[in-house]
A and B are shown apart, each in its own frame.
Chain A
């Protein structure tokens, strides 16, 4: 049950777009459209941003979008805002027996 692979850190300027990748295997991301993304501010509870690859829960800005190709899922944030700065985690259903696996997390800095 290896963690999904995410870049440790990324940065962008306000107004820019940024894409965070999340690479898994054929046992998780590659075979199932059950990829979700979470935003977490320091000391706070994670918040669901996307589910089933590209679906947004009610209340989540349409600046957040998702996609998947092969074993890699992606979260794109368009029109970066300072409030987007935080940690982002991907998660996928896995058929390894544990139900789900998270990525290592990406620290996003908005300069």
Chain B
């Protein structure tokens, strides 16, 4: 069974940095493109970032472009999201999701990031 598990969330001060990880199992990770999606408390889903096979291309929503960096390590079956210059409005549950036919068919359980002083 395909599975994604996120980690790395927590409390961080405004202006700080955090790296999220997403570990995949049950499917050939290197053959899939991957994504990050977030959901602020009580709000809707927001698409953040896409990464192709072999780390190319890397695409970002305007809201995080220049501050967040997506990457992957196929040898470790892992996806990452490096987040810098964090703001209060970045507080959310962050999901990694597998891309299949331009849709997201497998989701992790999410990891909560709280940006607060």
Contact = CB atoms under 8 A, between A and B. Distances in A.
Interface of A: 1, 3, 32, 34, 36, 38, 40, 45-48, 51-52, 55, 57, 87, 89, 91, 93, 97-105
B105 A51 contact: yes
Most chain B Cβ neighbours within 10 Å, of A48, A91, A93, A104: A48
Query: Chain B: interface secondary structure?
Result: strand
Contacts of A48: 103-105
Closest 3 CB pairs of A and B: A36-B103, A34-B102, A51-B103
B62 A100 contact: no
B14 to A, nearest CB: 24
Contacts of A89: 44-45
B27 interface: no
A87 B109 CA distance: 17
